[in-house]
A and B are shown apart, each in its own frame.
Chain A
Amino acid sequence: MRSLPILLTDKSPSVPAHVVDEFTPSLILEGEHHLCPGCGEPAAMRSAVEMIDELGLTQRAIAVFGIGCYTEFSGGLDVEVLQALHGRAPSLATGVKRTKPDAIVFTVQGDGDMVNEGLQEVIHSAARGENITCVLLNNGVFGETGGHMTATTVIGQRTKNTLEGRDPAQHGYPILISDILSRLQGSAYVARGATNSAGNVSRTRRMLKKAFEVQDARLGFSFVEILTMCPTGWFIETAEAPDYLTDNLAAVHSLGVLKDVTADTAQSAG
């Protein structure tokens, strides 16, 4: 059995994640969490707050949480948190940022929260050039309800309400949200990373860091989509999830930086 690549351990994935190693990252109140073994969200969450810390932005940071498995961290971060309703985090973040323009405001939402329930919020916030950072944890399923189709579920993916796999004739096509947001004038930085390998985690951390820098420089809307594993909602073995992500989700939702106004400026200047 292969070991999980995101955790530096040789212990079996059958051991619950919270006892793999005694370790509490900075800005997270407890090292333990109640998410499933093999979940890709804790690594994403940890990456986001560690980048805030690394940039020295901690004492200006306010997180706005949506509703999903990751809401576990709403009460578990040593970061100020405003808990929103399902879908609504970018609107709340807008109200926070407009009244506290010096704060570093970021949302944490899943694909069900952002791309299903709250598509309007994130698109309008991006179009307004709202100077906030939205972080999407995209695993292509409603993980908290037990594995149901979302707007980002890829064609052929089996979920509890697409038992034979997502069929375009019946269920339509996935929404590639980063691709849409990168086309809006108000967005300054849009990137899509993943937490299924050490390399992808490193790249995702750089994306998050860049997004927060863009916000701090008041350049406009910044967005980091992070593909995360959900072996429970994908109905596969925990150890298979990283490869499943590469072969299925990332094959449709392509990894990379889709837009970076700072790079564009550098190019035109050069």
Chain B
Amino acid sequence: MTRRLIEGSEAIAAGMVAAGCRFFAGYPMTPFTEVLEGMARLLPEVGGTCMNAESEIEAVGMAWGAAATGTRAATGSVGQGLSLMQESLSEICFARLPLVVINMARGQGDYFQATRGGGHGDYRHIVLAPADVSEAVRLIQLAFHLADEWRNPVLFMGDYYLAHVQEAVDTSPIDFGPVEEKPWALDGSSSGSGAAKLVSPLFPKKRNDPEASTYGDYLEVMAARFGEIGRGVEPLVETGFTEDAELVVVAYGTPGRYIRFVVSELRAQGLPIGFVRPITLWPFPTETVSRAADSAKAVAVYELNTGQMFDDVRLAVLGRCPVHFIGRLRMDHSGFGMSFDLDVEILSARLRAMLDDVRRETA
């Protein structure tokens, strides 16, 4: 194993290439830009293609076309660019194509966009949210594996810190086991055979196929399919000190890393606080949050937004104990970076105060 000290963006790009990604399309936007730079540099070295798309709409379209040929493909942007991609992302889900989409998000305001389906229709896709660069390298590779395994797009949620922090990481390929062949992939060879392939979000089969169906029927088939994915994908989650915690704090991504550190420090001082860090945001680790809430007096949610994952935590807790929102926006002046709120002393003081409140209320 060889570790290299590299920036998160470069590590994510290297992880994609290690996972076998051979097509990438993107449009520069901070803090996603360096991922695009990395792919523009790395892909030609391995015979891949990196397209400088004329907009995010074209970027996701190009990646959609590449995915349809069975190529491991990816695109990405920040939340704003992802907004432009949502129409296509929805259709790619209905077309059952594996694709990895990166959101190097500004703050954490894109949780709803990522998990609720920012586009039209009843669709879902897996969402992975790493907390540090080495986890990012692992999860970006897992993203390609899950996309192939479930024939569905996977969204990778990064952030400004993840893009720009340097860590010593190993970017060699990780083997997640075999994935199925891609008999549906287009290459032209089935044309004229009487059974030419069709990759479509509207209907799965050509008109002469016995399995041909209407668009209306297909929507129901796909709704059931998204249910299968939600039940079939094992939620990933990290927990700490939840067994005897009076207060459990839930946070994801880089803020989850801060919460993990602050909670560990407070534990060392004897305070009964624990944490849950969801790694898959969809499917949400509902069971884990629910179990943690069983033994706690209260649950707190820390996000750099005004309360989005808060909804999923409340749905997991289902009223068995109070759920408090303790996050903040507090962005830097550019609005691109991370919040001034990400400060160990600030968070330490807030969790202490929260624990005092909880104890007072339940006394």
Contacts and interface: CB of A to CB of B under 8 A. Distances in A.
Interface in A31-90: 52-53, 58-62, 64, 71, 74-85, 88
Contacts of B61: 84-85, 88, 91-92, 94-95, 121
Contacts of B65: 64, 82, 91-99
Nearest to A96: B65
B189 interface: yes
A251 interface: no
Given A30-B208, A96-B68, A121 B188 contact: no
Interface SS of chain B: loop
Given A29-B208, A78-B192, 9 more contacts: A59-B188, A60-B189, A62-B188, A71-B202, A80-B191, A83-B201, A94-B61, A95-B66, A104-B188
Nearest to B199: A82
B62 to A, nearest CB: 4
Contact of A80 (B51, B198, B208): B198
A92 B58 CA distance: 8
B338 interface: no
Contact of B188 (A29, A77, A100): A100
B23 interface: yes
A178 B274 CA distance: 65
20 contacts: A27-B191, A29-B207, A52-B191, A59-B189, A75-B200, A75-B205, A81-B197, A83-B95, A83-B199, A85-B88, A88-B64, A92-B64, A95-B23, A96-B66, A96-B69, A98-B49, A98-B62, A100-B188, A121-B61, A124-B54
B194 A78 contact: yes
Nearest to B204: A75
B207 A99 contact: no
A162 interface: no
A102 B208 CA distance: 27
A73 to B, nearest CB: 9
A81 B23 contact: no
Interface string B203-223: 101111000100000000000
Given A62-B188, A120-B55, A124-B54, A81 B196 contact: yes
B207 A75 contact: yes
B32 to A, nearest CB: 19
B199 A120 contact: no
A79 B191 contact: yes
Nearest to A132: B65
The residue among A62, A64, A75, A95 with the most chain B CB atoms within 10 A of its own CB is: A95
Given A59-B189, A94-B62, A96-B69, A81 B198 contact: yes
A99 B23 contact: yes
A103 interface: yes
Interface string B60-78: 0111111111010100000
Contacts of B63: 95
Contacts of A74: 198, 200, 202
A53 B193 CA distance: 12
Nearest to A77: B196
B57 interface: yes
A98 B186 contact: no
Nearest to B60: A91
Contacts of B49: 98-99
B91 A85 contact: yes
Given A29-B206, A60-B191, A103-B187, A88 B88 contact: yes
- The 4 nearest A-B residue pairs measured at CB: A95-B65, A91-B61, A83-B200, A92-B65
Nearest to A127: B54
A58 B187 contact: no
B306 interface: no
A62 B186 contact: yes
Contacts of A91: 53, 57-58, 61-62, 64-65
Contact of A96 (B51, B95, B186): B186
A74 B201 CA distance: 11
